């Protein structure tokens, strides 16, 4: 059981502080072990849904603005995109996560069956895998012999080493809900200026405000990734801003080029 403070261990790694790392690993913590970080479990769905929501909605806004369509049309197209694409994204996330987990469960059952009915074959496979990693046959035999004493741990090891499958604890339904909620939340931002102008009579340059809000949100989404990845928040935010800006700019240019068709 890991008893060191994982948060402090991460901080030591970020600062490349070897002395602090040694101290953390050597100390006996009186506190209960820190639970495995679960905050990043659904961050992928949140960022994926939010990024897709804001880019596709702004693409609609930019394309409509480029084609000189009315604000009412922009809102209709924007909200239609929000609901339609949001549901589509959520369903896709649910089905992909569920299918992946079903595949993992099927492979695990197969490995468990093989361990139960033909342990010699699984033993040989694992020995060969470790030998491929550079261990001698004698060393590989010792490692595998120890792991075989705990069947569950042995199957866990085979799932990773043989199949490259890590245990996935994500909930397909929660994944879908996070994706949908993030898509709606961030996708609404490019439409905010049009809502304020049409329904509340606030005079403003709707496209300019939409561009500013979208740019700020894209940067924030990129920076949010660093909560899990630990990368530089500014560079991550800038990367997201550039990627989203390219997609949004392309939509505006297409709308402008085809405005004569309206």
More confident site: 2 or 53: 53
The C-alpha atoms of residue 57 and residue 213 are separated, in whole angstroms, by 12
Is 31 domain-assigned? no
- Measured N-to-C along each axis, helices 137-147 and 119-132 cross at an angle, to the nearest 10 degrees, of 130
Q: What is the pLDDT of residues 198-256, one digit of tens each?
A: 877 776 788 888 889 989 998 988 887 776 666 788 998 898 889 888 877 887 788 77
Is 24 domain-assigned? no
Across the range 8-30, mean pLDDT stands at 68
Return all residues near 167 (Cβ < 8 A) that are at least 6 apart.
104, 156, 159
Tokens of 147: 């792991």
Q: What percentage of the chain carries pLDDT values higher than 70?
A: 84
User: What pLDDT score was predicted for residue 61?
Assistant: 84
| pLDDT interval class at 5 (50, 70, 90) | low
SS3 content of the chain, % helix, strand, coil (to 5): 80, 0, 20
Q: What percentage of the chain carries pLDDT values higher than 90?
A: 16
Is 216 domain-assigned? yes
Is 52 domain-assigned? no
Q: Which pairs from 171-175 meet CB under 8 Å and 24+ separation?
A: 172/93, 172/94, 172/95, 172/97, 172/98, 172/101, 173/94, 174/42, 175/42, 175/45, 175/93, 175/94, 175/97
Burial class (CB in 10 A: 0-12, 13-18, 19+), 169: exposed
Q: What is the pLDDT of residues 44-86, one digit of tens each?
A: 788 888 888 888 888 888 888 778 888 888 889 889 989 999 9
| pLDDT interval class at 196 (50, 70, 90) | confident
Cβ-contact 58, 213 below 8 angstroms: no
The C-alpha atoms of residue 160 and residue 167 are separated, in whole angstroms, by 9
User: What pLDDT score was predicted for residue 28?
Assistant: 53
Q: What is the pLDDT of residues 179-189, one digit of tens each?
A: 999 999 999 99
Is 101 domain-assigned? yes
User: What pLDDT score was predicted for residue 178?
Assistant: 92
User: What pLDDT score was predicted for residue 56?
Assistant: 87
Distances (CA, A) of 78 to 58, 60, 84, 96, 179: 8, 6, 10, 26, 18
DSSP 162: T
Is 38 domain-assigned? no
The C-alpha atoms of residue 152 and residue 145 are separated, in whole angstroms, by 14
User: What pLDDT score was predicted for residue 34?
Assistant: 46
Count of domains for the chain: 1
| pLDDT interval class at 176 (50, 70, 90) | very high
Is 245 domain-assigned? yes
Is 26 domain-assigned? no
User: What pLDDT score was predicted for residue 188?
Assistant: 93
| pLDDT interval class at 27 (50, 70, 90) | low
Q: Would the pLDDT of 262 be above 60?
A: no
Q: What is the pLDDT of residues 82-127, one digit of tens each?
A: 999 999 999 998 998 899 889 888 988 888 888 888 888 888 888 9
CA 85: distance to chain centroid?
18
DSSP string, 78-126: HHHHHHHHHHHHHHHHHHHHHHHHHHHHHHHHHHHHHHHH-HHHHHHHH
Range of the domain at 217: 57-261
Return all residues near 34 (Cβ < 8 A) that are at least 6 apart.
2, 5, 6, 7
């Amino acid at each position: 059981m890991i008893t060191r403070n994982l948060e402090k261990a991460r901080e030591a790694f970020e600062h490349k502080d070897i002395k602090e790392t040694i101290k953390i690993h050597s100390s006996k913590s009186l506190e209960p072990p820190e639970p495995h970080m679960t905050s990043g479990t659904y961050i992928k769905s949140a960022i994926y849904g939010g990024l897709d929501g804001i880019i596709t909605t702004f693409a609609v806004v930019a394309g409509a603005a480029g084609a000189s369509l009315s604000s009412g049309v922009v809102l209709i197209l924007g909200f239609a995109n929000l609901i339609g694409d949001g549901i589509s994204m959520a369903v896709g996330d649910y089905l992909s996560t569920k299918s992946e987990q079903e595949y993992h469960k099927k492979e695990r059952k197969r490995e468990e069956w093989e361990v139960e009915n033909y342990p010699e074959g699984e033993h040989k496979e694992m020995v060969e895998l470790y030998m491929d990693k550079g261990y001698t046959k004698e060393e590989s035999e010792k490692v595998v012999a120890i792991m075989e004493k705990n069947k569950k741990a042995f199957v866990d090891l085979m799932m990773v080493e043989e199949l490259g499958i890590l245990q996935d604890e994500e909930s397909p339904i929660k994944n879908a809900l996070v994706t949908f909620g993030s898509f709606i939340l961030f996708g609404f931002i490019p439409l905010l200026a049009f809502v304020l102008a049409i329904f509340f009579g606030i005079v403003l340059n709707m496209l300019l405000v939409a561009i500013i809000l979208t740019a700020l949100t894209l940067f924030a989404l990129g920076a949010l990734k660093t909560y899990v990845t630990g990368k530089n928040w500014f560079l991550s935010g800038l990367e997201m801003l550039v990627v989203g800006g390219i997609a949004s700019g392309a939509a505006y240019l297409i709308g402008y080029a085809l405005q004569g068709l309206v």
